[in-house]
Amino acid sequence: MKAKIFYIKFLFCFFTLIKAQNNRLYNYNQIGWYNYFGTFKLHNKISLHTEYQFRRTNFITNWQQGLLRVGLNYQIHQSTQIRIGYGNIETFSYGKIPINKFGKTFTENRSFVVVTTNHNINKLEISHRYMLEQRWLGQFKDSAAKHEDYFSYSNRVRYQIRLQIPLNKTDSLNQKQFYIATYNELFVGFGKNVVESVFDQNRIGALIGYRINKHIKFELGYLNQLVHLNRRVNNKNIFQSNQGVILNLNFNY
């Protein structure tokens, strides 16, 4: 009897999983993200953060997003920093199933608060980033609209863990150094305008980096971005699976 009950439960779970998979529609894209990050010291504990991300599809051919962020950093502790800032994002119509249901480019304005903590385990550097975003996303009432008719408000929390380890030993930050890094970041949306799911997206990256000196470093690697669209097509949940290259240029003065 117990064996039969277990078998029935197993079949129920199996067919539930199959049904859930059949209720999903995936759109695959090849991407290339080319990013600049700059930090400029203003005071002993205060610095200015600047950032621009040039995000493309088909690796380089077409637009995916243009993202500009600025912020003010405050160094609470040697291992803890808080940042408040503003972001302006332009999301383009890309892929077979665009994010906007009318296939239009739309603007997003965003304010955010970030807390970053760092610690080491021997040579391994570990960082945790906690981010709260307030998002105003451009919306269109119909396909004939040429500009956004209104902006819908939603919230999002993000958590990223990053692991980094050097490949060669140095005695000074001014010496050249290679390193490898990997990270995973989870995005969760909330608020009345989050319709389909609180899961917004997930990003996984693997990088090889080269630090020229304490001010400049480059990173090149692989990025996997899974995005859950906040709408359905033919009553199916839409997921974008975006994979490609990422190139970061970091300045720290």
The predicted-structure confidence for 22-62, as pLDDT tens digits, reads as follows 688 999 999 999 999 999 999 999 999 999 999 999 999 99
Q: Check residue 195 and give its pLDDT.
A: 86
pTM of the model: 0.89
Q: Check residue 5 and give its pLDDT.
A: 53
Mean of pLDDT over the chain? 91
Residue 140 neighbours by CB under 8 Å, 6+ apart: 100, 102, 104, 106, 148, 149
Q: Check residue 50 and give its pLDDT.
A: 98
Tell me how many domains the chain contains.
Answer: 1
Read off the CATH number of the domain in which 242 is found. Answer: 2.40.160
Instruction: Answer whether residue 15 shows pLDDT above 80.
Output: no
Q: Check residue 18 and give its pLDDT.
A: 39
Q: Check residue 196 and give its pLDDT.
A: 81
Instruction: Answer whether residue 17 shows pLDDT above 70.
Output: no
Mean pLDDT of 162-180: 90
Domain that holds residue 84: 2-252
Q: Band the pLDDT of 169: cuts 50, 70, 90.
A: confident
Mean pLDDT of 141-158: 95
Q: Check residue 9 and give its pLDDT.
A: 42
Instruction: Answer whether residue 176 shows pLDDT above 80.
Output: yes
